[in-house]
Amino acid sequence: MLFRQLFDAESSTFTYLLADEVSREAILIDPVRETAQRDLEQLSSLGLTLTTTLETHVHADHITGAWALHQRTGSKCGVAGAAHLPCADLQLAPGDIVRCGSFSLEVRATPGHTDSCLSFVLDDHSMAFTGDALLIRGCGRTDFQAGDPRRLYRSVREQIFTLPSSTKLFPAHDYQGRSVTTVQEERSFNPRLHDAISEDDFAAIMAGLKLALPKKMAIAVPANMTCGRDAPTMVAPLGFEGGEGI
Ligand SMILES: N[C@@H](CCC(=O)N[C@@H](CS)C(=O)NCC(=O)O)C(=O)O
Ligand SMILES: [Fe+2]
């Protein structure tokens, strides 16, 4: 499998490119609207055809690139069915398998950061894409979008920490320059979720965070409810190289 970890510095979001080296089919996990042109150039330079974009969740901090990429490539957009988004081509449910040539991703429900978060697990369990359910040495906040710390605790314990200790975990964000972790590392060193932390401890930690709302939340959530189609043009549209935006 061909794999690239891409990064949007503005929102600290990772986009993951996974592709089959024989069929040249590709999947993008969590594309960002502002970096869709970069993603298209990556695909083109590697001779890949984008079949599918997958969202780990309805993001609050950036607008998805799903619609922009669909317009250019015809890619199908996969979102949790539990998010109830009519724009999604694939209404993903736990246990679904998303195939891409010779590899596949298993869909796991990992709610708690939002009520419809998904994680995607590679068929050989060597890698998992955890969205904001589990970040490196942290986790997604649980104070909006029907977040629930107790649900998140159980999601991480039951759906992520049950993977092999060597499974590499790739989050949707990192704010401190890190890129990957493993199940073993997070079970040992995650200050909010390591093995000795109880559900009550975790709920107390999350209740004490008091974070400011994401700067783009008011535009990102409604735009992402349309898979990025009805997004304001306050950012440069796809392919516009002038830089100023509107
Ligand atoms: N400063 C960022 C905050 C982003 C934010 O709150 N991110 C969410 C994920 S959508 C989160 O859970 N962050 C965890 C954290 O900051 O510890 C922004 O304005 O976009
Ligand atoms: Fe998020």
Could you tell me the domains of the chain?
2-224 (3.60.15.10)
- Cα 132 to averaged position of ligand 2 atoms, centre (Å): 5
Amino acid, res. 33: R
Residue in the structure block whose two tokens are 């996974």:
18
| β-strand partners of 32 | 64
β-bridge partners, 52: 27, 76
Dist CA 105 CA 16 (whole Å): 13
Alpha carbon 127 to chain centroid, angstroms: 14
| 3-state secondary structure (DSSP) of residue 155 | helix
Cα of 21 vs centre of ligand 2, distance in Å, is 30
- Residue 186: φ, ψ to 5°: -70, -35
Our mutation pick for probing the ligand 1 site, out of 13, 117, 211, counting the most ligand atoms within 8 A of Cβ, is 211
Per-residue pLDDT of the chain (246 residues; tens, 9 = 90+): 999 999 999 999 999 999 999 999 999 999 999 999 999 999 999 999 999 999 999 999 999 999 999 999 999 999 999 999 999 999 999 999 999 999 999 999 999 999 999 999 999 999 999 999 999 999 999 999 999 999 999 999 999 999 999 999 999 999 999 999 999 999 999 999 999 999 999 999 999 999 999 999 999 999 999 999 998 875 555 655 443 332
Determine the Cα–Cα distance for residues 127 and 223; give it in Å rounded to an integer.
29
pTM for the full model? 0.95
Helix axes 36-45, 66-73, angle to 10 degrees: 40
For the chain, the straight-line distance linking the first and the last C-alpha, in angstroms and rounded, comes to 39
The tokens describing 121, both together, are 């697990």
